[in-house]
Chains A and B, each alone.
Chain A
Amino acid sequence: MALKGLDIFKLTPKSNCKECGVPTCMAFSMKVAQGAIDISKCPHLSEDALAKLSEATAPLMKTLSIGAGEAEHKLGGETVLYRHEKKFVSRDLFAVTVNAQNFDEKWAETEKIDYERIGERMYVELLDLEYTGDVAAYAELAAKAKGTGRTLIIDTTDAEAARAALEVVAETKPLLNGANAENTEEFVALAKEFKVVLGVQGEDLDAIYDTIKAIEGKGYKDLVIDLGSASIKSAFENAVRVRRGALKGGDRSLGYPSIVNVAELAPGDLHMQQALASLFTVKYGSIVVLEQMTYAMALPLYGLRQNIYTDPQKPMTVEPGVYAINGADENAVCCTTVDFALTYFVVSGELERSGVPVNLIISDAGGYSVLTAWAAGKLSAGSISKFIADQGIDEKIKNHTLIIPGKVAVLKGELEQKLPDWKIVVAPNEATDLVKFLKDYAAA
Chain B
Amino acid sequence: MPLKKTPQVFSASIDTVTIGTGEKAVTLGGANVMPLYAFDAPIENKPALGLELSDAGYNAELPKLADFYAGAETLADQAKRAAALDGVDFVTITLNAADPTGENRSIEDCVAECKSVCETIDLPVAIQGCGNIEKDEQLFDALAEALQGENVLLLSAREENYKSIAAAAGLAYGQKLGAESAVDINLAKQLNVLITQLGVQPTSMVMNLGSAASGYGFEYVASTMDRVKSAALAQNDAMLQMPVVTPVADDAWSVKESIASEEDFPEWGPVEERGVQMEISTAAACLASGSDAVILRHPDSVATISALIAGLM
Contact = CB atoms under 8 A, between A and B. Distances in A.
A and B directly contacting (CB within 8 A)? yes
A398 interface: no
A410 B6 CA distance: 57
Contact of A303 (B39, B215, B284): B215
Contacts of B254: 349, 353
B281 interface: yes
B101 A209 contact: no
Given A82-B226, A83-B226, A307 B219 contact: yes
A276 B288 CA distance: 10
A80 to B, nearest CB: 10
Interface stretch (B141-149, B160-168, B265-273): B265-273
Given A304-B215, A352-B259, A276 B269 contact: no
Contact of B280 (A112, A278, A306): A278
Contacts of A82: 223, 226-227, 230
A433 B219 contact: no
B216 A295 contact: no
Given A233-B312, A300-B213, A295 B269 contact: yes
A342 interface: yes
A170 to B, nearest CB: 32
Nearest to B229: A82
A294 interface: yes
Contacts of A303: 213-216, 218, 257
A124 B226 CA distance: 29
B3 A307 contact: no
A45 to B, nearest CB: 27
Nearest to B277: A296
B80 interface: no
Contact of A206 (B3, B214, B278): B3
B308 A436 contact: no
Contact of B281 (A112, A301, A436): A301
A275 B222 contact: no
Contacts of B308: 232, 272, 275-276, 279
B285 A341 contact: no
A300 B3 contact: no
Given A233-B39, A236-B36, A300-B282, A84 B227 contact: yes
Nearest to B279: A300
A409 interface: no
B277 A237 contact: no
A433 B133 CA distance: 13
Interface residues of B, number: 60
A278 B281 contact: yes
B280 A271 contact: yes
Nearest to A234: B39
A283 B288 contact: yes
A240 interface: yes
Contacts of B213: 300, 303
A308 B222 contact: yes
Given A294-B269, A296-B274, A307-B219, A276 B284 contact: yes
B219 A297 contact: no
Given A249-B6, A307-B218, A295 B312 contact: no
* Residue among B217, B256, B300, B305 with the highest chain A CB neighbour number at 10 A: B217
A83 B101 contact: no
A208 B276 CA distance: 36
A282 interface: yes
Contacts of A342: 212, 216-217, 220
A177 to B, nearest CB: 20
Interface string A254-287: 1000000000000001111011111101110000
Interface string B211-252: 011111111101100110010000000000000000000000
A295 B38 contact: no
A245 B6 contact: yes
Given A276-B308, A300-B277, A282 B6 contact: no
Interface string B282-297: 1111011100000000
Contacts of A244: 6, 8
B273 A296 contact: yes
Nearest to A437: B101
Interface of A: 82-84, 112, 117, 205-206, 209-210, 213, 231-233, 236-237, 240-241, 244-245, 249, 254, 269-272, 274-279, 281-283, 294-297, 299-304, 306-308, 310, 312, 316, 341-342, 345-346, 348-349, 352-353, 432-433, 436
The 10 closest A-B pairs by CB, nearest first: A303-B215, A232-B311, A300-B281, A304-B214, A342-B217, A278-B284, A300-B214, A282-B288, A237-B39, A307-B218
